[in-house]
Amino acid sequence: MKHFRLIMITLLSPLAASAANLAGGEWFIDGDPGTGTGRAFAIPPTPSAGASVTIPVAIMETLDSGFHLLGIRVKDQLNEWGPVRWRGFHKADPRPTRPLHLSAGEWFIDADPGVGSGTAIPLPVAPYGSASPQVPASALNGLADGYHLLGLRIRDELGHWGSTRLRGFHIDRSPVIPPDIESVEYRIIRDGSEVASADVAASPSGSSVTIPVTHGKAGLLLDAPHLLQVIPIDSTGQRGHAAYASFAYKAYSVAWLEAHFNESERSNLEISGDSADPDQDGLSNQQECLFALNPRDGGDAAQAGATIDPPGTSGNLTLGFRIPAGGSVGSDGIYRTSNLSYTVRQNAELGPWNPVPAAWISGWSLTDVGEGAARLRMDLAPPPAPKRFFHLMGEAN
């Protein structure tokens, strides 16, 4: 039979000066039913003895959970009862032998509506789980900007709610206006080594940035893979996260073909061959390529031009040509880009053409005009002559 056994206590005769032996005792719980009407228990017939009281399970099951008092008194052989001795004990809630399952959860914002009155959270039927409240946008729309509290609590299968956990969050509906990009820092990496780097300003602030990669000066290698690293810098001086893009530095003629003809057309020489003229403007694909023209646009022209200083001045002149972008003029006066080179030639007669001496070139500049083309401006200071002829000759290297 199941029973509850309390600790052993020492029992003494109620008559301190008497030699009478103990003759019995009684116990009761919470209330004193009156002397001699409690539940009896036996005691060895001695002046003092130790005894234990066993409370049957049936009586314990009738008690509510919580703290209770056990009362005990004894009597001697003369039937004299001693005083009541009280001992406290606690009856705990019955617990299952397995872990408790979670059965419900709820959340609320700011004001606690009371246990069980929040917005329900579906929970898995398992001993352990996680509660992740999905707060709908409609619940946030009515909240003012600023800090708020999200409350969360869960309940087990016995109906016991756990403690409330609070988490703070912030709402800010003010528009986010990022600062303008002032410049871009870039690096070009090949085989793990940096081959070029520079800072390029955005002009005007916030506009797109064109990275000038100059053939022959940026360490690029034809047909080799390269990695471009770009870091934006805003108007406050803050540096953004680095972005990366891989690219292969291709020969200009290859890149021009890929830009204007699809894969099928590039295999058809009647469309993409050097001598073909798909836009019927009188310029072959080879000529269109050399001057960065669109082979599909018959109105696209090379647009060469010249200006001469007013009479009586130095007599210097400025030549302008449309050419592929991304090149530079070398010390020999030749413009080079990728696998192409361009030489300005001259003669005082319509006869043999000779390259313009580098000593005649007083300056040059390059202006990007989009779609892979640029405008080359070359300032010349030739010696005086009654007349002089110039032309630009492009050729593949």
State residue 217's pLDDT score: 61
Report yes or no: 210 and 218 within 8 Å, Cβ to Cβ. no
What is the average pLDDT value for the chain, to the nearest integer?
81
Residue 332, Ramachandran bin (φ over 0: left; ψ between -120 and 50: alpha; else beta): alpha
DSSP labels for 257-317? Answer: HHHHS-HHHHT-HHHHSTT--TT-SS--HHHHHHTT--TT-TT-----EEEEPPTTS---E
**Strands of the sheet with 66-76, listed across from one edge:** 39-41, 22-29, 66-76, 85-91
Which range is least confidently modeled, 21-30, 112-121, 301-310?
A: 301-310
How far is the C-alpha of 91 from the C-alpha of 311, rounded, in Å?
Answer: 118
Please give the average per-residue pLDDT across 314-328, as a whole number. 80
Residues 6+ apart with CB under 8 A from 323: 290, 291, 292, 335, 337, 342, 373, 374, 375, 376, 392, 394
Percent of residues, the chain, with pLDDT higher than 90: 15
Sign for the CA dihedral angle at 213, 217, 218, 223 comes to: positive
Note if the bond before 204 is cis, omega within 30 degrees.
yes
Q: What global pTM score does this model have?
A: 0.46
Residue 395, both tokens: 């050729």
Instruction: Band the pLDDT of 9: cuts 50, 70, 90.
Output: very low
Q: Scan for tokens 């996260």, then name that residue.
A: 241
Residue range 351-365, pLDDT digits in tens: 788 888 888 888 888
